[in-house]
Structure 1
Amino acid sequence: MLEGLEISEIMFSELDHIKNRIDAEYYQKNFLEIDSKIKAIGETNLIKIEASLDCSAFYPSITEYYDFLGNGVPFLRVNEIKNGLVKLTESTAFLPQEILDRNTSTIAVGYPGDLIIAKGGNTLAKVGLITEQHQKYALSRDLILIRTNNLKEYNRYFLWLFLHSEYGQSLLWRTASQTGQPHLTLPSINEINLPKFDLTFEELAEKLYKRSIYLNDESKRVYREAEHLLLKELNLEKFKPSQEPVNVKSFADSFGTTGRLDAEYYQVKYEDYLKQVEDYTEGNDLISSLCHVKTDNYLPTDNTEYKYIELSNIGTSGEITGSTIDFGENLPSRARRLVSKGDVIVSSIEGSLDSCALVSDEYNGALCSTGFYVLNSKKINSQSMLVLMKSELMQNILKQRCSGTILTAINKDEFLNISIPIVSPSIQEKIAELVNENFEFKTQSEHLLEVAKRAVELAIEEDEQTALNWITEQTKA
């Protein structure tokens, strides 16, 4: 009669009287097993290790003060949590310091090394480590802050890895309040059982994290080197476009030729950028001549699983940071571009024009949004095309060609009729080496974080020695 049902028998004395939970979901077998494993290792909690919890209260509307050019203090929302880390993007809002000064009791502020956790919704329990990219960060109401600057006999990076691990995530979900929409509360998080390992083992997590950050910084360095190499080749190192606000054009030289009447299109600076392309010694040509641009729609099969890439999945150095994995029947109607390894995808949407990426082997056969142009060329290698499209030169030319009212974007004809420099083969080869090195450093960086997280899980499942052996095996040169 009860076949297929999961049943847990709990003594009344063993019920969680602190949280007053008697719902069956709280006592699922997998939750009880995790608790049992942690108790066997040795347990503690945030209160005992002297962590401090905080969150923003109901502050007044501040959207009018948002700055998306990086001026002020980063304002963290759930979208800034990516793969366990706080990562700022073009869509990250910044706030003036004076707004924080006026709302000291309602807007919480976090610092590097602190942790943030998503309170609720479909991102509930998402954990992010605040990095050293900025000195401080303001928090939205959707986040809970764990201050880690005064932890007692517990490593902040180990705490982060545990909460980000399979077991930490399970316990965070377990403690979510079931009143209305599930959400996390400060008292329930304070009482979560944390495993207590030897401090030497915990500090190993910090070493792996810092090595990962070093490799990530190296990836950024070599990408900047590739950018500089291109700028030097195109004679753009000291180039400064005109700031002249007025440009007088005849009808024949304006609307009669371009079909455009908007003043923005005729800014003198755009003419300066176009002249740089025309004057390049190795020559230039139209995208339509140099590249194969995939514009045909691909209709996904309903019962086939695909990786779907959209604008939010594009990293700042031209990498694809993730994708939605789902069956064709569940994908949005804009998931219609089939990409292959070596393709370069370029955003057509103004405001996201620098969302360009090189398709790696991992995303061969994936789908991307129709908001991207997908291109490859026999004359310009993919790595050089990526750096070129993300360069100041091409970003301005792309911006000039945008048109529209509600959604400003580059239409197909405008995109195909853009001239780009045919970068010399020797420079292309050097750029390719640097971009490949950038991706390799980034892959190693991400691998170390996964190794560290899995090591925490192995230490809970088996023991510290098994976890140490795993780290040694996975970090061999």
Structure 2
Amino acid sequence: MGYQGNKNGTAIFKKDDFGNFLKDRNKELIVEEDFSKIIQDYKAFQAINEIETENSFSFPLAELNGRFDFDYYAPENRKLLDKLKSKNAVKLADLCEIVKVKSKKLSQANEIVDYIELSDINTHSYEIINATSYLVHELPSRASYEVRENDILTAVAGNSIGTSKHATALVTRDYEGDICTNGFRILRNCKIDLYYLLYYLGTEMFLKQVFMYRTGAAIPNISDNDLGRILVYLPEEKVLQEISEKIRYSFELRKQAKEEVEKIIVAF
């Protein structure tokens, strides 16, 4: 209350819309805090046994489980899950195999492998844009899983998971057999169209669920169990195929653009 969450515990004070500090009637700076509003909300809750505001909400005690964080129980997220369930959304674990078995290549110390890290993904185009060659014994300790063509990689660790910068990518033939970090999970043998699933993993419907389920402050992560619980909305087949074709076409266009650039020869 009234302090930044950093090592210095810097005091923070209220400002107006123009960034000017606000003062009370005694011309003292006003501490930035939300305790007063929460206390007001609690008093209102005592009167009607129900509350839902920006900072406070109530829910049945029977629904309380091992989690005790705001986002997990936030009304906005609960409404999203209820809506997805009403649309017969399917759990991700029921649609894909979630691969988490270490590659046998990691036992061959002197073999050269290409390694894919979280930062090697273009989050806007669902593409792997780089892989770095290592001898196996030189690989980072996070190196874990062997990828195959048509796998989907999606991040399960890092500050960006559940945000617009969440890393998700389709594995193309160029990266067949590469090793990826355990900051990813591999979605394989999917029962639905790959390009639609790739699209869905970039939507607010998916990202909000990841953000809701993630835990940890220093390095946020989502467990394999919670990843598998994420609900995937499946529209009618016609709509699904239209989305799939657009995502597939975007990959083809980028491939064509890359080929055109590679044809450029400049005389020197």
- TM score, norm. by length of structure 1: 0.42
Q: Which amino acid aligns with 2:252?
A: E
Q: 1:253 aligns with which of 63, 71, 74?
A: 63
Report whether the alignment pairs 1:342 with 2:147: no
**Cα deviation, residue 371, structure 1:** 0.4
Q: Rg: which structure is higher?
A: 1
Q: Match of 1:387?
A: 199
2:190 is equivalent to residue 401 of structure 1 = no
Asked whether the equivalents of residues 156 and 221 of structure 2 are also in contact (C-alpha less than 8 Å), the reply is yes
Displacement of 1:269 in angstroms is: 1.2
Q: Distance in 2 between matches of 1:447 and 1:270?
A: 43
Which residue does 2:69 correspond to in 1? 262
Q: How much does 1:264 deviate?
A: 2.4
Residue 161 (structure 1) aligns with: none
Q: Tell me the residue number matched to 1:319.
A: 127
Alignment of 1:27-66 (within 5 A): none
Residues 449, 273 of structure 1: CA spacing in aligned structure 2 closer, same or farther, 3 A cutoff? same
- Alignment of 1:365 with 2:177, yes or no, is yes
Deviation at 1:424, TM superposition (A): 3.5
Greater helix fraction, Structure 1 or Structure 2: 1
2:188 corresponds to which of 366, 376, 388: 376
> What SS class does the counterpart of residue 128 from structure 2 fall into?
coil
- Structure 1 Cα separation of the partners of residues 216 and 149 of structure 2: 32
Residue 159 of structure 2 contacts residue 219 of structure 2 at CA under 8 Å; is this kept in 1? no
* Greater RCO (Cα-Cα under 8 Å, separation 6 or more): 2
Residues 418-442 of structure 1 show CA distances to partners (whole Å, capped at 9, x for unaligned) of 2222344333332232222111111
Say which of 102, 106, 115 aligns to 1:308.
115
* Alignment equivalent of 2:80, drawn from 264, 273, 276: 273
From 152, 163, 168, the counterpart of 1:356: 168
Question: Residue in 1 aligned with 2:250?
Answer: 438
Alpha-carbon shift at residue 350 of structure 1 (Å): 4.7
* Counterparts in 2 of 1:294 and 1:434: CA distance versus 1, 3 Å: same
The one-letter code of the counterpart of 2:221 is: A
Return the alpha-carbon distance in structure 1 between the equivalents of residues 100 and 130 of structure 2: 23
The alignment-based identity, stated in percent, is 25
Alignment-derived partner of residue 42 in structure 2 = none
* Equivalent position SS for 2:222: coil
1:390 deviates by 0.8
Mapped partners of 1:435, 1:304: distance in 2: 36
Counterpart CA distance in 1 for 2:213 and 2:256 is 38
TM-superposed CA distance for 1:243, in Å, is 7.7
Q: Tell me the residue number matched to 2:20.
A: none
- 1:73-84 pair list within 5 angstroms: none
In the aligned structure 2, how far is the partner of 1:380 from the partner of 1:243?
A: 39
AA of the residue aligned to 1:293: I
The root-mean-square deviation of aligned C-alpha atoms, in Å, is 2.0
> What corresponds to 2:101 in structure 1?
296
**TM-superposed deviation, 1:449:** 2.7
**Deviation of the 1:379 alpha carbon:** 2.5
Separation of aligned partners in 1, 2:185 and 2:112: 23
Going from structure 1 to structure 2, the CA distance change for 1:388 and 1:247 (only over 3 Å counts) comes to same
5+ residue gaps, structure 2, are 1-51
Kindly provide the amino acid, as one letter, of the partner of residue 260 in structure 1.
R
- Find the aligned partners of 1:378 and 1:355 in 2 and give their Cα distance: 19
Describe the SS at the equivalent of 1:252. Answer: helix
SS of 1:260's equivalent in the other structure is: coil
Q: Which runs of 5+ in 1 are unaligned?
A: 1-241, 461-477
